[in-house]
Amino acid sequence: MDVIVTGNRAELTKAREATGRGRYALVPTMGALHEGHRSLIRLAGEQADHVVVSVFVNPLQFGPNEDFSRYPRTFEADLAVCAEEGVRVVFAPAVADMYLPDRQVSVSAGAMGSVVEGAFRPEHFDGVLTVVLKLFNLVQPDVAVFGQKDAQQLALIRRMVADLDLPIEIVGGPTVREGDGLALSSRNRYLSADDRATALNLSRALRAGAVQRGPERIKDAARAVLETAARLDPPLLLDYLALVDPATFTEVAEDHRGEAILAVAAKVGTTRLIDNVVLTLG
Ligand code: AMP
């Protein structure tokens, strides 16, 4: 069956009529689709009868000095991926179709939106939650699938669903990596071979931390890898290394028991990368 491409609410309604009854799953993306996105589409297919993929580079979640204008846009290739994966509907609105010129109301991510990743990207999570809520309202899925790769985003979306009583089930999918550990990201295509060699130290640091016991030792082991990588050419420029509670994104105490997320963000050249692993402590 062909993929139905839509760009606004009226087209979405028509596409749903054409697709028929059943459970709908939404996979929100910014395009430049890779194996990580494919894994979420497959997970969505296991959760529902029909999969809708949205492709929208959301200006609200980019800061003034971030890569909105140069973010990779590969729509034809994305459509081919969606067709291969059995996606029924692609929702790819223009910016002008998503945001009214006089728009005012938006979602606030609250305190959890301004720590860890949010401390380096002010208003980023407000922008993410605003577009995700709009996508939920437009597509009206029964279930939506997000990657653990963006762990704080996933946690905040679960928080929004709980706090605003959204009738949508949220499913998280594991991070897909290259054979050598590099987490797949649309931004990896910015990396030169030397950049990539330096970038590998993000996942290397997480693995070094993951085999240790206790928050301080976990962070020390990861930090040692990152400090060595800071002396490479090109250097790894660390934004943060944090070991946080998966539900709140606050730093865990030394006696923390249960799940924790070891999260890292760094720049290599002009490319900013994030990664994380889920650990069980105690
Ligand atoms: P993006 O297009 O980067 O906004 O990502 C769209 C969705 O794909 C988000 O839910 C991401 O968390 C998820 N995603 C991105 N990279 C990966 C990956 N390597 N493995 C699994 N999911 C991913």
- For 248-278, write each residue's pLDDT tens digit: 999 999 999 999 999 999 999 999 999 999 9
Burial 21-33 (b: 16+ CB within 10 A, else e): eeebbbbbbbbbb
The answer to whether residue 1 scores a pLDDT higher than 80 is: no
Instruction: Give the active site residues.
Output: 37
Ligand 1 pocket, 184 CB below 6 A? Answer: yes
> Which atom of ligand 1 is the closest one to the Cα of 177?
19
Please report which confidence band the pLDDT of residue 241 belongs to, taking 50, 70 and 90 as the band edges. Answer: very high
> Which atom of ligand 1 is the closest one to the Cα of 150?
12
User: Average pLDDT for residues 98-120, to the nearest whole number?
Assistant: 98
User: Average pLDDT for residues 231-256, to the nearest whole number?
Assistant: 97
What residue owns the CA closest to ligand 1's atom 18?
36
Estimate to the nearest angstrom the gap between the alpha carbon of 66 and the chain centroid: 16
Mean model confidence pLDDT for the chain: 97
Mutate to test the pocket of ligand 1, among 41, 87, 149, 153 (most ligand atoms within 8 A of CB): 149
Please report which confidence band the pLDDT of residue 32 belongs to, taking 50, 70 and 90 as the band edges. Answer: very high
Mutate to test the pocket of ligand 1, among 29, 131, 148 (most ligand atoms within 8 A of CB): 29
User: Average pLDDT for residues 75-98, to the nearest whole number?
Assistant: 98
The answer, yes or no, to whether the previous bond of 141 is cis (omega within 30 of 0) is no
Q: Answer yes or no: are the C-beta atoms of 25 and 143 closer than 8 Å.
A: yes
Helices of type H across the chain:
9-19, 35-47, 75-84, 95-98, 117-120, 124-139, 151-163, 193-210, 215-229
> Which atom of ligand 1 is the closest one to the Cα of 147?
12
Q: Percentage of residues in the chain with pLDDT exceeding 70?
A: 100
Ligand 1 pocket, 61 CB below 6 A? Answer: no
